[in-house]
Chains A and B, each alone.
Chain A
Amino acid sequence: MENNNEVVLLDLWASMFGMRVRIALAEKGIKYEYIEQDIWNKSDLLLQMNPVQKKVPVLIHKGKPICESLIAVQYIDEVWNDRSPLLPSDPYAKSQARFWADYVDKKIYDLAKKVWARKGEEQEAGKKEFIEALQLLEAELGDKPFFGGDKFGFVDISLVTFYSWFYAVETIGNFSIESECPKFISWAKRCLQKESVSSTLPNSERVYEFLLDAKKRLGIE
């Protein structure tokens, strides 16, 4: 029997990385204790559980930490392997899912940051590269309902969480993602029909306020 304190998540409500873990836990129907972190004033627990990177999210299972969101999602899939598989069972399909989740990790955050943290020519370049990355993902999605095929899976989880930041990025960057990437937006909305996603992704305007505050604290105009 699982107690609430057997699974703990150290997280920040606005973190698209933390959202990945929340979605995976929801997909598997796992009860857990959520502990909100103040990333501007890190708790002793966070520093103890993730001494190397000192970041959220940290999944804690029976007292033992698992850091890095995609590693935590794979751990969840492997431990609770009796329901709602997130990764394919075929090794080749699994390798491709890992490749695309890794692509998301390597590109999407940094390109979005170019849009919200820079100005002028650098920002314009950031907008172009960001849209190109989304379009590459649209091409990979093709006609499938989800990246995982008929079922929502690992790549969908790694990516859909960024959708909650789109309003903020569009507002600061003064552009429309939907006009350039309509397929991406319809895929994201399809994902949002799933309760695990809709109950996890925060309100977009709230994220925008968070980002404006973060910019001030980081000294970015």
Chain B
Amino acid sequence: MANEVTLLDFWPSPFGMRVRIALAEKGIKYEYKDEDLRNKSPLLLKMNPVHKKIPVLIHNGKPICESLIAVQYIDEVWSDRSPLLPSDPYQRSQARFWADFVDKKIYDAGRKVWTTKGEEQEAGKKEFLDALKLLEEQLGDKPYFGGDNIGYVDVSLVPFYSWFKAYETFGNINIEKECPKFIAWAKRCLQKESVSKSLPDQDKVYGFIVEMRKKIGLE
């Protein structure tokens, strides 16, 4: 049976990056298709009619939507190598909890940092940094959230690092000063090829955010 894998994605999307990292960790060859989100392809609308969002993983013609669901699917299908989730059910539940925490907090708080001003932005900055500090505590002395190797939580979180120049510039914050352990962890992840090849350059993401801010009417 052919093993055809396609990823519908958008290069700056931290959610798409998660799936890219998982595919790279497992050494899976796939076709990457970059979507124009202002002009969504018929394929995207057909494969994700409910949310109409990227990323969409397509395996042998069947779509899997929502990045964390796709990452779990990849881990379960290609279960013979580089496990992303722990095998112990309790540890697995904790990995899911923290990835869910990342999903609930990081994107939205980060978004406030680059799209708002004044009090709202200050609140966003605090939420964002508090979330990073909580994650630092959770990491503790481990090299990765997954322990000795990157795992599910690392994959769910490290993509946001590619947005840090944008957050720092528009939020006027120094993330390394506030969260040095977090930055050290992110750089450690970037030493892995699966991560460094999946994350775009921070400058490139920054340029993209500058354009987005113009489009939504912010200076």
The chain A residues found within 8 Å of chain B, CB to CB, are 52, 61, 64, 66-68, 71-72, 74-75, 78-79, 91-92, 94-95, 98-99, 102-103, 136
Contacts and interface: CB of A to CB of B under 8 A. Distances in A.
Contacts of A136: 50
Nearest to A92: B62
Given A68-B96, A102-B69, 16 more contacts: A66-B90, A66-B94, A66-B97, A67-B97, A68-B100, A71-B93, A72-B93, A75-B92, A78-B92, A91-B77, A92-B59, A94-B76, A99-B65, A99-B69, A103-B50, A136-B50
A78 B76 CA distance: 14
A91 B73 contact: yes
Interface of B: 50, 59, 62, 64-66, 69-70, 72-73, 76-77, 89-90, 92-94, 96-97, 100-101, 134
Nearest to B65: A99
Given A52-B134, A102-B69, A103-B50, A68 B77 contact: no
B90 A61 contact: yes
A91 B60 CA distance: 13
28 contacts: A52-B101, A52-B134, A64-B90, A66-B90, A66-B93, A66-B97, A68-B96, A68-B97, A68-B100, A71-B96, A74-B96, A75-B92, A75-B93, A78-B89, A79-B89, A91-B73, A91-B76, A91-B77, A92-B59, A94-B76, A95-B72, A98-B66, A98-B69, A99-B66, A99-B69, A102-B69, A103-B50, A136-B50
B66 A102 contact: yes
B103 to A, nearest CB: 10
A91 B62 CA distance: 12
A63 to B, nearest CB: 11
A71 B100 contact: yes
B89 A75 contact: yes
A66 B97 CA distance: 8
B204 to A, nearest CB: 30
Most chain B beta-carbon neighbours within 10 Å: one of A67, A79, A92, A94: A92
Q: Which 9 A-B pairs have the closest CB atoms?
A: A91-B76, A78-B89, A75-B93, A95-B73, A66-B93, A95-B64, A71-B96, A98-B69, A91-B77
Contacts of B92: 75, 78
Nearest to A103: B50
A61 B93 CA distance: 12
A51 B34 CA distance: 40
B70 A95 contact: yes
Nearest to A140: B50
Contacts of A75: 89-90, 92-93
